[in-house]
Structure 1
Amino acid sequence: MVNQAATHLLKRALSWKLIRQIPRFTPNQSDGASTKSKDSHSATTLEGKPVLTLYTKDVCSLCEDAKEVLEPFMHRFNFEQVDIEAPSNKEWWEKYKFEIPVFHLNGKFLMKHKVNTKLLQRKLDELETK
């Protein structure tokens, strides 16, 4: 029983490790990195898919639960995660430290605390019909 649970957790962790974590940069950075801001997302990516951004942190059980709920929708958007604890994400830490998980769709607030599948479905449908 313990081995099954450990195997499940390991598989889950490995599958989510494949999802890219995109750091947010501020214009004041002097390390030459690009300067993405909170409003830098376009309406869609090059593939024509919207971008769903999850604001999270390293240990967040609600975030892990939310990612499982998102799995059936993953083919419909590009998924990004923002670690609000990263030094370059101080503004997100201040805004969302007590609110995660928080989701933005194409750079705009969508939902927080848990995934509202009906809302997500409706918003994705709206974007696909544009």
Structure 2
Amino acid sequence: MLLSGVARAVRHCSRTPLPVLTLFTKDPCPLCDEAKEALEPYKHRFELQEVDITRPENRVWFDRYRYDIPVFHLNGQFLMMHRVNLALLERRLDKTTGAAQQ
């Protein structure tokens, strides 16, 4: 019984995982570097995952985005491409984290 109470307390106190912002990129990619710089003030609000579209296992992403990087997905859904739209990012992060807290 004590263990189940501890488990409930840990679950209650645990933080909600951060949303995942996926950056589809390649090397070199100056626009991707600019985009990451623009995201710097927001990095505490998401987990950044980079996908190198030139790797053989990412062929599907290369075929889809080779002319459009940087491309961003938030939690697996398309968000933006070419340049960072900070207003859009903030709205979607607020919506995502707000829904997770309810």
Secondary structure of the 2:72 match is: strand
TM-score, normalised to structure 1, is 0.64
Identity of aligned residues (%): 54
- What corresponds to 1:30 in structure 2? none
Task: Find the aligned partners of 2:47 and 2:55 in 1 and give their Cα distance.
Answer: 21
- What corresponds to 1:5 in structure 2? none
- What corresponds to 2:8 in structure 1? none
Task: Find the aligned partners of 2:74 and 2:68 in 1 and give their Cα distance.
Answer: 16
Q: One-letter code of the match for 1:78?
A: E
- What corresponds to 2:33 in structure 1? 64
Secondary structure of the 2:24 match is: strand
- Structure 1 gap ranges (5+): 1-45
Task: Find the aligned partners of 2:74 and 2:67 in 1 and give their Cα distance.
Answer: 20
4+ residue stretches of structure 1 with deviation over 6 A? Answer: none
1:128 aligns with 2:84: no
1:55 aligns with 2:29: no
TM-score, normalised to structure 2, is 0.81
Higher relative contact order (CA 8 A, sep 6+): 2
Q: One-letter code of the match for 1:49?
A: L
- What corresponds to 2:53 in structure 1? 84
Q: CA deviation at 1:47?
A: 4.8
The C-alpha deviation readout for 1:88-124, integer Å capped at 9, x for no partner, is 1000000000000000000000000000000000000
- What corresponds to 2:42 in structure 1? 73
Task: Find the aligned partners of 2:79 and 2:94 in 1 and give their Cα distance.
Answer: 14
Higher strand share: 2
Task: Find the aligned partners of 2:56 and 2:67 in 1 and give their Cα distance.
Answer: 17
Task: Find the aligned partners of 1:105 and 1:115 in 2 and give their Cα distance.
Answer: 13
The C-alpha deviation readout for 1:24-69, integer Å capped at 9, x for no partner, is xxxxxxxxxxxxxxxxxxxxxx852100000000100000000000
The alignment of Structure 1 onto Structure 2 pairs a total of residues equal to 85
Who wins on radius of gyration, i.e. which is larger? 2
